[in-house]
Chain A
Amino acid sequence: MLRFLATRAAVLLPTLLVIITLSFFLMRVAPGGPFDADAQLEPEILENLRAAYDLDRPLVEQYGIYLSRLARGDLGPSISNKDYTVSELIAIGLPVSLELGLTALLIATLLGLPLGIVAAAHQNRWLDHTIGTLAMAGIAVPSLITAPLLTLVFGVMLKVLPVAGWGDGAWENKILPLTALALPQLAVIARLSRGAFLDVRRQNFIRAARARGLPEWRVVLVHALPPTLVPLVSYLAPAVAGVMTGSIVIEQIFGLPGVGRYFVQGALSRDYPLVMGVVIVYATAVLLMNLLADLAYAALDPRIRRGLLAGATT
């Protein structure tokens, strides 16, 4: 197990370096530069600006400068948010995205999983159909629609919650974005867990458990639940990485200070250091979450655990 972990961890850094290198050069190949959106820029001013951000040096030298700074934990200055470094922007935005994303996902799992299991337990009956229809609606309606709708109803018409803004993290400001973020996740999780639970129920070890005369709650909670979680974990791992790094739509509509906006803002304004910064954060999150998912599989399903151990020792 430890060896498995060590091999996986050892691949992390080189993978990250490949991602950094590819992003660095791909971004420079894309047409346009960080000062291009400014139609009136005089050539003299452009030269000063390029020099200020080392953009006047050869590309390979810029890459070297970037890597040596990165090794010291410095992500460089942001070109579009001039008063802050990329590290500062991420340090301010990431906690907001983390808090919102993880809370939303937690709510979605805590509600979605029981809903899915209830639906599976009542397979093809009205309760199953109702949950199924609602879940489909939850998946089909994007947050681009639900978010403005929520603000319209609760913010403008009923005036019970703020339309937008973070308000220094006051709970009123979090309700609507959390709802908009959690709804589609909840729907997916409910559908996934229904399917997984139905699958598991047909397995021999469940029949065996029933045959041993175990009470139904024990069969469901102790024997059926853990393997039901396996496909859920496969979904949740990248989903966690996704919600952690923010949702551009939710952040825009609710005016939240998360990091999601920096993906789009950085890319559109060709703010190279900012894009690199968010790419590194996102890539690290995805890699770590996948590693965690692998560990979770092993914990949840003895069959996978044995497979991993066999793979690691051969």
Chain B
Amino acid sequence: MLLRSPSRVRLAARALLAAVVLSVAAPAGWAVTLNRGIGNDPDSLDPHKAIGTSSSILIYDLFEGLVTVDARGQIAPGAASEWKVDATQKVYTFTLRPNLKWSDGRPLTAADFEYSFRRLMLPETAARYASFLYPIRNARAVNTGKAPVESLGVKAVDARTLRVELETPAPQLTELLTSVGAVAVPRQAIEAHGREWTRPGKIVSNGAYALAEVSPQTFIKARKNPHFHAASDVAIDEVVYFPVEDEGTSFKRYQAGELQVAVKVPTDKIEAVRRQYAGQLRSSPGLGTTMLMLNHKRKPFDDPRVRRALALAIDRGVLTDRILRGTAQPAYTVVPGSVSRYERPIPAYAAAPMPARQAEARKLLAEAGYGDGKPFRFTMQYFTEAKTRTLAVAMVSMWRAVGVQCELVNKDLGSVISSVRAGNYEVSLYAWFSSFDDPSTFLDILTTKARGSLSGYSNPAFDQAFAAGNGLASSDERSAALARAEALAMADVPVIPLFTGINQRLVSSKVQGWVDNPRGANLTRYLSVRG
């Protein structure tokens, strides 16, 4: 022991010296790194195959579309510096920035975008988000193999001009072009490497960052792309993305300083997090609505009185404040409150006190033929996810208060969705999310579809109002018309909106430039790290 202690002292001294040297050297030559927690391991780095938020965080950093979002999550010019719409509102002309380059230094031209949109629409690509761009002329036909890819309404006029033709006017086109599927993908890398083109060393991209290293399920490293058009404004040199699935682990890694941004915060510890990390917990309502889907093809859910009674009896505040502890806000419409420039048609009952709502619910049920002698019974399916069981049990007791008996069926998410699609359910917990800040993607679920909508709800008057409103060229008029259409549908209570989740993120006080936005888009290029 005595013999070993001097060497220990020497070791400690050496370590101390090293630490001093390093800390002095750090600000001079070292790269600025951001350790960014993402949710799951990204399912793909191919923008045409990726689904989900963790992939989109990476794809937004690595690639850029014609249009992108700014630091506040608002639409901003991307690879295109400007765009014009013609009088018919059906032809968009995009002008690319001069001297655009891929991360391998090759020039990026309008032909690259033409290639990208064609690849997106080819049926064999099986791109998940292709349908978002169906407003483009012949897009649906190409995507279903009914038309040649050359007929797609995207044409490179010259090196810097891209013309996009639409089927019908779609003022939300620029919004749709912010989709991860609409970025430029590198023809040279895809043709050279096939399915493996997204690997480090093979991938080529046009965004603020270029992929450097991937260790599946562990980390993904990207470095600043010197060829990016705004490279001089990018403050962070290196981003390390850490996939962390477990909420508890995510929080602990943040506490330990291993992560500077954590996207998963444990709901059951939210009060403690709010206290401890007051300035670092960032909350913003997401673009999603959790609702109850009612099967209109099953009796008595075809009866609006029954649907309305069920909706009246649910106290949204109990769900959002008591169970979800303020990590969600009540919803009474399908379009969430986070969608901008949209006046939600909130029904009058939302403001009414619960006893009055319960009395009204009982009255409606009695009118529909239910009462003490003949209680209304049904089953509700829900998916196994955090808190959903507690939410379901709470709703069962709220319905019991108005004499309704509900039996719960627990399934995994995939089974819940497939049985809703097959119309094989009575009532189902359901959630609808969008990556677009636009009401149409939400209202679309209420429209009558050729193959049958999820709920079986069909109201021709709503369909007409939705279609007419959706095609309006003026953005304000369109929003107002869509809100009127939603009011028309919500009067029928086609579904029962419950709440909109509030995204919770922990962002270190050292990270600057982080602006909360409903889209949840915080591109690394707008962030900086204070030493």
**Residues of A at under 8 Å CB distance from B?**
31-33, 36-45, 47-49, 51-52, 77, 80-84, 89, 92-93, 148, 151-152, 155-156, 159, 162-168, 252-258, 261, 268-270
Say yes or no: A80 contacts B414, CB within 8 Å. Answer: no
Distance of A33 Cα from B421 Cα, bound (Å): 12
Within 8 A of A (CB), among B166-212: 195-196, 198-199
Provide a sorted-by-A list of 30 A–B residue pairs whose CB atoms are within 8 angstroms: A31-B419, A32-B418, A36-B413, A38-B128, A39-B432, A39-B433, A41-B128, A45-B143, A48-B124, A51-B123, A77-B195, A81-B41, A83-B199, A148-B252, A155-B253, A155-B256, A162-B258, A163-B249, A165-B218, A166-B215, A166-B218, A252-B249, A253-B246, A255-B217, A255-B253, A257-B217, A258-B217, A261-B245, A268-B414, A270-B414
Q: Cβ of B83 < 8 Å from any Cβ of A?
A: no
Distance of A293 Cα from B121 Cα, bound (Å): 55
Q: Cβ of B81 < 8 Å from any Cβ of A?
A: no
Query: How far in angstroms is the closest Cβ of chain B from A257?
Result: 4
Distance of A258 Cα from B257 Cα, bound (Å): 24
Within 8 A of A (CB), among B265-287: none
Query: How far in angstroms is the closest Cβ of chain B from A263?
Result: 14
B130 to chain A: which residues have CB within 8 Å?
45, 48
Nearest B residue to A42 by beta-carbon distance? B131
Q: Cβ of B415 < 8 Å from any Cβ of A?
A: yes
Given contacts A82-B50, A164-B244, A165-B242, contact A156 B123 (CB under 8 A): no
Distance of A152 Cα from B256 Cα, bound (Å): 9
B46 to chain A: which residues have CB within 8 Å?
82-83
B218 to chain A: which residues have CB within 8 Å?
165-168, 255-257
Nearest B residue to A89 by beta-carbon distance? B216
Decide if the interface of chain B is mainly helix, strand, loop or mixed: mixed
Say yes or no: A162 contacts B256, CB within 8 Å. Answer: yes
Nearest B residue to A154 by beta-carbon distance? B256
Q: Cβ of B248 < 8 Å from any Cβ of A?
A: yes
Query: How far in angstroms is the closest Cβ of chain A from B213?
Result: 10
Say yes or no: B248 contacts A253, CB within 8 Å. Answer: yes
Q: Cβ of B462 < 8 Å from any Cβ of A?
A: no
Q: Cβ of B144 < 8 Å from any Cβ of A?
A: yes
A52, A254, A261 pick with most chain B CB within 10 angstroms: A52
Say yes or no: B144 contacts A44, CB within 8 Å. Answer: yes
Distance of A151 Cα from B413 Cα, bound (Å): 30
Say yes or no: A37 contacts B216, CB within 8 Å. Answer: no
B248 to chain A: which residues have CB within 8 Å?
148, 253
Say yes or no: B415 contacts A255, CB within 8 Å. Answer: no
B256 to chain A: which residues have CB within 8 Å?
155-156, 159, 162-163
A165 to chain B: which residues have CB within 8 Å?
218-219, 242, 253, 258
Nearest B residue to A47 by beta-carbon distance? B144
Say yes or no: A84 contacts B216, CB within 8 Å. Answer: yes
Distance of A104 Cα from B433 Cα, bound (Å): 43
Q: Cβ of B239 < 8 Å from any Cβ of A?
A: no
Nearest B residue to A40 by beta-carbon distance? B432
